[in-house]
Chains A and B, each alone.
Chain A
Amino acid sequence: MTHRDVWDGLVGQDKVVSFLRKSSTEGTTTHAYLFVGPPGSGKRSAARALACALLCEDGGCGTCSVCTRIKRGSYPDVRVYEPEGAATYMVEQAREIIHDTNLSPVEGPLKIYILDRAEAFNPAAANALLKTLEEPPDDVVLILLTISWESVLPTIASRCQVVRFAPVSPSTAVALMAERSGVGPDDAMAALAASGGVIPRALDFISSPVRRAARGRLLGVLRDLPVMDGRDVLEAARELLTSVKAPLDEVRVRQEAELRERVEFLGKTAGSLKPIEDRHKRELSAREREGIGELVNVAGSWLRDVAATAAGAPELVANRDAADDIAAAASCIGDRQLARAANAVSEARRRISYNVSPQLAIEAMLFDIQEAITCPRSWE
């Protein structure tokens, strides 16, 4: 590759990259895309890269102010949405998006909408959106993301150009992590397990001591669960929640700096700061949910490691630093108990997607895992 650009970040998606790069340089992009691929395959990064390619004066250099702001999520004409309702897009939210597409861009020539979890459009919300998907205003590009094409309503899928992403193998992901941040394979595997296999999040995780500490604490809790009483479990959950909130302070500091910068730079002409403040609020709550999601991922990967070890495949263990505890657990927890515990983890994930209070969701997950893996004799 002769020069680096915004597409370089996408690994293992050569076909997707060459297709999108070509259509953006040749001006043959369409108005509605559906990116389909498993978690961690780079759909979000690709959507941002396409936005850069379409909005940057150099076709996506990756370094100019436009590209940096798009990647950071602070460019006004690139909007990212996810379902606001309990696990689905509500009709009101679809209407809000449609209304927004009819406004002029703030800064650039185009407005780009990235709609995450396109499978979460219920028929009513999808109906509201159909006309916009079919004939969006000329200056609008919609990029819908989903993990499975089958789960997206056909009325939506049929109106989009479908782009399929290949799964990225764990070894590719580990190699990429090593190249980007110099981490060893063990740390990379642990970070990928905590972040659900999503490479940019895993890199973020590696660079946050607080988040790594929360993972360590949870691994200790999982090891000790069989001998903890109710008070211990509640206290552990409280501590874990506190450690999830800690990194939010870093985000807040950056947000305040951004606001200050804007006011200093534009003075009175800065106009209303409300859109920025709203975006900051959304970012904070997304970050918090991400942190809770990390806890759930860690618990899930620990149980999977125990199952793999019990099944005689310890080489699959992702949390290598806890391998001894995992082996000890594997020697006394049965298959059915593990299946029940794994179920508790998926329940927690589902509850969090329904906006159940994070503390309660984590407490319930820990108690459910405890009940599943504890010998019935010792606790009744």
Chain B
Amino acid sequence: MAKVADLDFNMETFDGDGASADEVVNAANTMPFLSERRLVVVRGVDKMGAADQGSLADYAKDPAPYTALVLVATKINRGSRLYKAVHALGGASEYPAPKRGEYPAEVTKLFAEHGKRASGDAARALVDAVGRDLRRLDSEIDKVVAYVGARERVDAADIAAVVTADAVSVFEYLDALGARDLGSALRLLAKLLASGESVHGVLAMSVRHVRNLLGARALMDRHTRIDEMAPQLGMAPWQVRNVVSQAGNFTPRELSRALCAAAATEAELKSGAVEGAIVLERWVMSVTGPRRA
């Protein structure tokens, strides 16, 4: 793309969070300037409303020949008009998220793209601090690159200086829960609540996770092949691997009891008699608790 277009003039980026389809379509229909082609990128197109997605799908039926429109989504419904329209043009490709152990290597690669050499410690420190949200990793890497300036080497100390470790993604906490790692789960839970997540919100996410684990556990016990699970569970293949490995840590009954205990926990939260965080912590302990022989 860089060969056929002067990207400074001919590239526009939108965020699905705030942009309207009209703006995007206008940009796509604008003639390129001193170049053969234009590049229009919409990040987080899954955050756009159905009407806006519909307008983009309409555009995809009759696209401007000189524009490459790139739509980036973390999750898109295959039944949606937009997915179908893009798929019909042969343009839908999936980049599954890396596996847990692959993140530091991924981070090193991203630094290399900025001409920086990150040490293994630095890459791990960044993943530990930020979690496994690729977009956040990307933006933190930008900050670190700016901080080290001309220096080529990036060390763990640089990460510590720039990146605040406070923000936790709820998925890190859910993974710790699924790993029955009580220490991490409690630590991450405390951070989540300190960062302003509500007790009710975290419980709701936890319940969803337990439902996923129950579903995966049942499919495992039915001897369903792992590549057949994704459509049945409504998840991406990499998520299925994650959920299946966690579901293996529990018996079906432990999982159904976790769900029942969550109902009791929600009732206790809503009765408002006890401080929410304590009630939720107690539930986390009961879920990760000692394995039954």
Contact = CB atoms under 8 A, between A and B. Distances in A.
A224 to B, nearest CB: 14
Contact of A364 (B221, B260, B271): B260
Contacts of B251: 380
Contact of A230 (B214, B266, B267, B271): B214
Contacts of A277: none
A254 B60 CA distance: 40
Given A354-B270, A371-B253, A361 B263 contact: yes
A360 B270 contact: no
Interface string B249-260: 001110111011
Contacts of B219: 231
A94 to B, nearest CB: 17
Contact of A367 (B204, B218, B221, B259): B259
Given A231-B215, A232-B218, A234-B214, A355 B260 contact: no
A230 B255 contact: yes
B196 interface: no
Contacts of A347: 263-264
A234 B211 contact: yes
A315 to B, nearest CB: 34
B260 A230 contact: no
Contacts of A233: 256
Give the size category of A's interface with B: 20 to 34
Among B207, B214, B263, which residue has the most Cβ atoms of chain A within 10 A? B263
B37 interface: no
B272 interface: yes
Contacts of B255: 230
Interface in A65-89: 86-87
A230 B263 contact: no
A356 B270 contact: yes
B267 A356 contact: yes
Given A231-B218, A234-B214, A356 B266 contact: yes
Interface in A225-239: 229-234
A90 B108 CA distance: 57
B225 interface: no
Contact of B259 (A350, A363, A379): A363
Contact of A231 (B214, B259, B266): B214
Contacts of A86: 270-272
Contacts of B266: 351, 354, 356-357, 360
A86 B252 CA distance: 32
Nearest to A348: B263
Interface in A345-380: 347, 350-351, 354-357, 360-361, 363-364, 367-368, 370-371, 379-380
B180 interface: no
B287 interface: no
B118 interface: no
B252 A379 contact: yes
A379 B253 CA distance: 8
A294 to B, nearest CB: 19
A131 B218 CA distance: 59
Interface in B111-158: none
Contacts of A363: 211, 259, 263
A3 to B, nearest CB: 49
B47 to A, nearest CB: 25
24 contacts: A86-B272, A229-B221, A230-B214, A230-B252, A230-B255, A230-B256, A231-B218, A232-B218, A234-B214, A234-B215, A347-B264, A351-B264, A351-B267, A354-B270, A356-B270, A357-B266, A360-B207, A360-B262, A361-B263, A364-B262, A367-B257, A370-B256, A371-B257, A380-B253
Interface of A: 86-87, 229-234, 347, 350-351, 354-357, 360-361, 363-364, 367-368, 370-371, 379-380
Interface of B: 204, 207, 211, 214-215, 217-219, 221-222, 251-253, 255-257, 259-260, 262-264, 266-267, 270-272
Given A230-B252, A234-B215, A356-B266, 19 more contacts: A87-B271, A229-B222, A232-B218, A350-B267, A351-B264, A351-B267, A354-B267, A354-B271, A355-B270, A357-B266, A363-B259, A363-B263, A364-B259, A364-B262, A367-B259, A367-B260, A370-B256, A379-B252, A380-B251
